[in-house]
Amino acid sequence: MRMPTQPAKGYRRLFPSLMALVQFEAVARLQSFTEAAAELGVTQAAVSKQIKMLEESVGAALFVRQYRSIALTHEGKALSVAMSGALQGIASVYDELAQGHFEQEIILASTAALTHFWLLPNLATLRAMNPAIKLRLTTQMFNADLRRNEFDVAVRWGHGQWQDGTSIFLFKDEAFPVCSPAWLAAHPQPITTENLASQPLIDYDATSEDWMNWDKWFKHLGFHRPRLNCSLRCTLFNDAVQAALHGQGITLGWRALIQDDLAAGRLVRITQATVQPSESYYAVIAPGNENRPVVQTLLQWIRQGLD
């Protein structure tokens, strides 16, 4: 016997008040009933009433009321994360619609190295995949919190365990010694790890994402030396590669970033020794952007170019 189809529940039947959820999001974000009331243009008493009604509806306290302060409970944190992502997604689309058209702009945060060596040289491929896309690139020295709604996607190096967005694995990378053909022609090629350590090395500072420098690279190979022969130290990886291209010595090259220089013969590998760290590149998608078609196009572009 065929059972009658149950009518789907509308969101209005599930939630006691959408306004209560909006006010909860403001209180959770600002950590203050007073500031939330001022932002929403209502009284503090009205906000307190809505939050109390919401707590009674879910059957759990959402805030711990302390002397002159409040804190989210475990249940409150769960609802706050869901509300923040949902409202940011709605606000992003509404803002684009309010301008009269749905723009396909995407704000991408990346390191200076990835922007310089890969993203900018390959923009033509992205344009071919989606001619209407509008890309805004921003360089990050430190990982900004995506929940602040400043970026749509961030490309990061690490283990993929971040709490401010959805992490999508992109690719792994490896580091090995490289120099210019001119430098190699003028110097004996290092055969052993010890030979390499005595050569004029171009080093760079480990970034906030803990990139591997020469000291860590040699330690991964089991080689320990009190002092390496670093003839030049740079703050940025970009500058270290430029110094190597101009024949100043040997630097560590990351395969994904210098593949064009290797293919064109501007840089050459010194040895076959290589280190592949446990970290990888990830695309971290800000809450509310996971299902945007333009974001999926961006991910496809990055994967396609770095396979």
Share of the chain above pLDDT 70, in %: 86
CA-wise closest residue to 158 among 214, 111, 108: 111
Residue pair 286/152 in contact by the 8 Å Cβ criterion = yes
Under DSSP, the state recorded for 165 is S
pLDDT band at 101 (very low <50, low <70, confident <90, very high): very low
Summarize the confidence of residues 90-114 as an average pLDDT: 72
Summarize the confidence of residues 169-183 as an average pLDDT: 93
C-alpha to C-alpha distance for 290 and 299, rounded to whole angstroms: 11
Share of the chain above pLDDT 90, in %: 32
| 3 pLDDT more than 50 | no
Cα torsion through 106, 160, 213, 108, rounded to 10: 0
Q: How far is CA 173 from the centre of its chain?
A: 16
Residue pair 274/174 in contact by the 8 Å Cβ criterion = yes
Q: How far is CA 287 from the centre of its chain?
A: 12
Residue type, position 138, single letter? T
Summarize the confidence of residues 52-66 as an average pLDDT: 90
* The three-state (H, E, C) secondary structure of 175-234, written as one string: EEEEECHHHHHHCCCCCCHHHHHCCCEEEECCCCCCCCCHHHHHHHCCCCCCCCCEEEEE
C-alpha to C-alpha distance for 23 and 67, rounded to whole angstroms: 21
3-state secondary structure of 17: coil
C-alpha to C-alpha distance for 79 and 67, rounded to whole angstroms: 23
CA-wise closest residue to 45 among 61, 29, 33, 27: 33
Query: What pLDDT was estimated at residue 12?
Result: 58
Angle at 95 between CA 287 and CA 40, to 5 degrees: 80
Query: What pLDDT was estimated at residue 254?
Result: 93
pLDDT band at 17 (very low <50, low <70, confident <90, very high): confident
Residues 6 or more apart in contact with residue 127 via CB below 8 angstroms: 133
| 98 pLDDT more than 70 | no
Domains parsed from the chain with CATH numbers: 11-98 (1.10.10.10), 105-171+280-306 (3.40.190.10), 175-269 (3.40.190.290)
Query: What pLDDT was estimated at residue 266?
Result: 96
Joined together, the tokens standing for residue 252 give 């560590």
Q: What is the pTM of this model?
A: 0.62
| 165 pLDDT more than 60 | yes
C-alpha to C-alpha distance for 99 and 94, rounded to whole angstroms: 9
Joined together, the tokens standing for residue 142 give 């430190």
C-alpha to C-alpha distance for 302 and 156, rounded to whole angstroms: 13
Summarize the confidence of residues 212-239 as an average pLDDT: 85
C-alpha to C-alpha distance for 87 and 189, rounded to whole angstroms: 59
| 5 pLDDT more than 60 | no
Query: Where is pLDDT greater, at 118 or 243?
Result: 243
| 6 pLDDT more than 70 | no
pLDDT band at 175 (very low <50, low <70, confident <90, very high): very high
* pLDDT digit string, tens, across residues 179-212: 999 999 999 888 888 888 888 999 988 765 567 8
